[in-house]
Each structure stands twice: as C-alpha cells, then as structure tokens.
Structure 1
Amino acid sequence: MNGRGELAALAAAGLWAIASVLYGIVGQQIPPLRLNVIKGIVAIALLIFTILLTGESLSTSAPQSILLLCLSGVIGISWGDTAFLGALNYLGARRVLLIGTLSPPMTAILAMIWLQETLNLTDWCGIMITTLGVAWVVTERVPGSSLDVANLWKGISLGLLAAIANAISTVISRVAFSTGSVSSLWAALLRLGAAELILLAWLCLPNRQPETLSSSGRVTSRVIFATCFAAFCGTYLGIWLQQTAIKFTAAGIASTLLQTSPLFVIPIAVCIGEKVSWRAIAGVIIAIIGIALLFFA
C-alpha cells in the first residue's frame, strides 16, 4: 500500500489539470451550476457502468460511512465544485488554483482536530514546500490580464468557498473510510450521486437567481464533446482516484498532492505552443522537492 495513495493523488491532479483547462473554455458557454450537473451525470453513468463491469458490491455493514460520503459529496461537489467553476469565470484558472493552495493546510489542521492524524516534521515541510512551489507557479503575472474590482471580489469569495468546502469534504471522506469498508469506486459514486440530487433540486428552485456568463456563446457539438471529455477525466477518473488517495494516505498529504494541478498545466501549455518561463520551471522544481519529501517521509 506504500505510495498507492500518493500516486493516485498525483494522477488525479494531472487529470484535473486537463479538465480545468477544458472547463475554463466551455464555462463561457455553459453556466457553472448547469455545467456541474452535466459533468456529474456523465461521471455517474460511467461509474455505474464500471461497477456493473467489475461486479463490485457496496458494503452496507457501516451505514455511517455511506452517510458521511454522501455528506462529503454535497459539500465538496455540489457546493465546492459549483463555487470553483464560478470562480473560474471571474478570475481564470491561474488565480483560482492559487486560492486552492489554501486547502491543504486547512485539511491537515482539520484532520488533526477531527481524526487525530499527526504529521511528522518532514510531512509538514513537504506540505509547505509543495504549496509554495504551486503558489510560485500560479502567481506569475500574465501579460494583458486585468480584472475589475467587482469581479475580483466575487471570484475571491467563490474561490475561498471552494477551498474551504474541499478541505471539509476531504476530511469527512477520510472519516468515512476509517469507520467502514467502502471501496473508492463506490465512494466516488455515493459522493457524486448525493451531490447531483442537491444540484438538481437547486436548479428546480422557483426563485433561483438566473446564472450569467461573462460572454455569450452557442452550445455547439464541440462544446458538448469537450464537456464530456472533461467530465471523463476530471470527474469520473479524477474523483475515483481522489477517493483512492484519501483512503490510503493522510488527509493533509492527499490534499496537498491533489492541489498540484497547476504543475501539470505547464506541459499542457508547452504542447499547445505557449511559452513557459523560468519562474514556472523553478516553481515545478520546488514543488517536486516537496512531493519527494511526502513520498519518502
């Protein structure tokens, strides 16, 4: 089991990097709440198909674990992901991912309070170095990027909400795994299923304020394909791997590695022809040192 959770977290971060780029594009045509519902439906269908294919059964010996995973999904996916997608429209991926670096320390502290998970000095050093490396990458100034004050504060508020929801839901999932024997695959389905029910109810509210987009656009077949592919990478595979990481490693370590998505955005940028600065490369090297400390602590 050694290293299994850490590898799953890094794989999830890589997939989320791909999904974040795609969601940042399709989010200009599909409002955040509706986009969250669509990606959830696609991922749930894929998870059900996978469960039927593998014949994996749900252990009902610990109903508390099932309820906790459902609660984790409501907080982390229905609230957190909707806030994250909204923040992307206001701030862009780089700034939102910077705010997300607050999540690992919050997760580690909450895990210490709720789970009595104690991290040694090397673990804490690894968390801080990795977080600093990611922050160094995403704080690089992008030429020509500017925001008005109203959008800035809306984006920051939504980004903070997403980071807090992510920290709380990670710890709740960790509690669920420590009190029952639910598999990572079923955990992903339970979390998504509960979140989807809340999101659908939210959409059906009669007095719900209509969602607005930063730019208008027609939903084309390319947008639909990109949304489905992002849901496959970031929601289906990403959440499955996320739950595997939370199950097999400490909550603070899992959260830190799951927040390394900006590092994986850099090779994507290179592939699409963007210029990568030495600062970004230095940030990656710093983060890799932190990741190594987490693996070998």
Structure 2
Amino acid sequence: MAGLLAALGAAMVWTTASSLWRSVSSSGSALQLNTVKNGLATLLFLPVLVSLPWGDNERGVALLLLSGVIGIAIGDSFYLAALRRLGTRRTLTVEAVGPVLGSVGSVLLMQDTLPWKAWIGAVLVSSAVLLVALQSSESNRSDSGDTPVIHGLMLSLMAVISGLTGAFLARHVLLETSLSPLQSAAIRLLGGWLVLMPVLRKTPWNRLGTRRGPWFRIVMATVLGTNVGIALQQLVFRELPVGPGVTLMATAPVMALLIAPLEGDAIQPLGMLAAVLALAGVAVTTL
C-alpha cells in the first residue's frame, strides 16, 4: 500500500510541477532551467547530505551518484530537449513506452517475478498515456521539417532509456544497502547537479531575477516536482518492482486532466477514455 500511495502521489506532484515549469519556460533554456532546478533541490536536501554516513556505503553512494547523472542530469535534459523539437503530444507518445520497457527490464535485469496482471496493467496505463498524448494540442507539433522531428524522437527515446537506467541503479542500491529513500534521493540529486554545474555560468540570472513571479514558480516547481517527487519515487523503487512502479507513476499525464479546465483545456471524450484506462490499469496492477 505504501508503494501504491507513493507512486500516485509522485504522479500528482509531477503533474502540478509540470504546469509550473511550463509557465517559466521562456526564462531560460531547458538545460539552464534543469541546472537551476537541481541546484535548488540539492540545497533543500543539504541537511540530509550533511548527516549521511558517507563512509559506510561507498559503493552504494557511487552508484546513486551515477544514477543521478544518468537519470536526472542526462535523462531530464534529453526530455526537455525533445519537448522543444516534438512538442508535448509526440514526446508523451514516445515516453509511453517507459512502463513496458520497465516491466521487461525488471524481469531481465532485476530478476523480478511479475504476474500476468502486472503486464496487463502496464499495457492499459501505457494506452491511457498514448490517448492523452493524442489529445494534446496540435499547436505543439514541430512544423520546421522532418529533421527536427527525427532528432526529437531520438532524444525522447534516450530520455526513456536514461530514466529507466537510473531507476534500476537506484532500486539496486535501495535493496542492497541500508540507505533510506530520502538519502537516496539526495545523493541522486547531488550527482545530477555536480555534472550540470558548469552550465551555471551561462544561466541568464537577470531574466530569472527581473520579476518575483518566475523565481516563486521555479522554487515551488522544484520543491514539488524534484524534492517531494523524487523522495516519493525512491520509496516506490524500494517498495515495488520497477515495472509496476514506473507504470503507476506514468499516470502523471492522465492526472493532468484534473487541472486541464484551469488552463482552459476542455476535457474531451478521448481524455475521459484515457482516465478510465488509467484507473483500470492501476486496479489490475495493484489488486
């Protein structure tokens, strides 16, 4: 039950944070915003980092740092870059393969045993995410030719692979060491931020600091989507196999239907069908 609630909670805070990040997307490049996000999140986790028993789990810490580099620094950067080339609809379509790849990978790499209902749940939730992607506004499409679209597809696929690789590394450490999900999250963030630190020199601080609004939204998005979200994610990795865990967290695009009216996006029958499929996938996976 703890893993289920953590996964759904992570999906909800990521949905809210995504709406906030969209509102500040013009304040800097995707890589720059990713760097600021990870820096703020690491600072908020500083008390956890200071109290860590660094010498007791050296191999685990090293793997978590690597997990942060791959899953957070590289994976998030690939994803944000793909959004700029493909738009929301196509990027989410590619991202929907994540739960299926997670289920397959958990069997091949982690020796997890998954019942047939977990596979059905993964297909249902993936179908729901695909429907939400198809419902996305046509204005988000890339119209600058085939080359940007091809590049975007490759970037989006690399984002999926990077995110899953980081997830498998984190789950391995959580199962093999005494590190808590909160400690694991802090170490992963630190690893991702250390790699991105050189980008700070090129960050347009004047654009971020000209108005109070952008900074407030950036801080709120960081706390919700990164600090709270990644802590819940680590709890999911400890309590659930990667496949079902990733499947449940993949309901974030479906949960965006809840805030769609606030953004002037009318819910269409396709969106309602996606919500039903997502709920069915959650039920099949967890019951």
| Number of aligned positions between the proteins | 282
SS state of the match for residue 195, structure 1?
Answer: helix
1:70 corresponds in structure 2 to 65
**Counterparts in 2 of 1:109 and 1:186: CA distance versus 1, 3 Å:** same
Q: Alignment RMSD, CA only? A: 2.4
User: What is the distance in 1 between the residues matched to 2:282 and 2:257?
Assistant: 17
In 2, are the aligned partners of 1:108 and 1:252 still within 8 Å (CA)?
yes
1:168 aligns with 2:152: no
Q: Cα deviation per residue 1:24-63 (whole Å; 9 max; x = unaligned)?
A: 33222211111111111111122224x39xx975475433
- Structure 1 unmatched runs, 5+: 205-209, 212-216
TM-score of the two chains, using structure 1 as the length reference: 0.87
User: What is the distance in 2 between the residues matched to 1:252 and 1:138?
Assistant: 21
1:279 aligns with 2:266: no
SS state of the match for residue 45, structure 2?
Answer: helix
1:5 aligns with 2:3: yes
How far the C-alpha of 1:295 sits from its partner, in A, is 1.3
How far the C-alpha of 1:193 sits from its partner, in A, is 0.3
1:41 corresponds in structure 2 to 39
How far the C-alpha of 1:11 sits from its partner, in A, is 0.7
Of the candidates 255, 262, 272, which is equivalent to residue 253 of structure 2? 262
2:102 corresponds in structure 1 to 107
Of the candidates 139, 149, 156, which is equivalent to residue 159 of structure 1? 156
In 1, are the aligned partners of 2:124 and 2:278 still within 8 Å (CA)?
yes
User: What is the distance in 1 between the residues matched to 2:179 and 2:139?
Assistant: 48
User: What is the distance in 2 between the residues matched to 1:145 and 1:36?
Assistant: 21
User: What is the distance in 2 between the residues matched to 1:221 and 1:90?
Assistant: 29
**Counterparts in 2 of 1:141 and 1:290: CA distance versus 1, 3 Å:** same
User: What is the distance in 1 between the residues matched to 2:71 and 2:253?
Assistant: 20
Q: Cα deviation per residue 1:212-243 (whole Å; 9 max; x = unaligned)?
A: xxxxx944322222111111110111111111
2:187 corresponds in structure 1 to 190
In 1, are the aligned partners of 2:54 and 2:61 still within 8 Å (CA)?
no
Structure 1: which amino acid aligns with 2:234? Q
2:137 corresponds in structure 1 to 142
Where do 1:188-267 residues align within 5 Å?
A: 188-201=185-198, 218-219=207-208, 220-267=211-258
In 1, are the aligned partners of 2:86 and 2:141 still within 8 Å (CA)?
no
Q: Cα deviation per residue 1:199-220 (whole Å; 9 max; x = unaligned)?
A: 114667xxxxx89xxxxx9443
TM-score of the two chains, using structure 2 as the length reference: 0.90
Q: Cα deviation per residue 1:73-103 (whole Å; 9 max; x = unaligned)?
A: 1100010011112222223333322221111
How far the C-alpha of 1:12 sits from its partner, in A, is 0.8
In 1, are the aligned partners of 2:32 and 2:199 still within 8 Å (CA)?
no
User: What is the distance in 2 between the residues matched to 1:24 and 1:153?
Assistant: 23
User: What is the distance in 2 between the residues matched to 1:266 and 1:152?
Assistant: 26
Structure 2: which amino acid aligns with 1:225? F
Where do 1:91-130 residues align within 5 Å?
A: 91-130=86-125
User: What is the distance in 2 between the residues matched to 1:80 and 1:156?
Assistant: 14
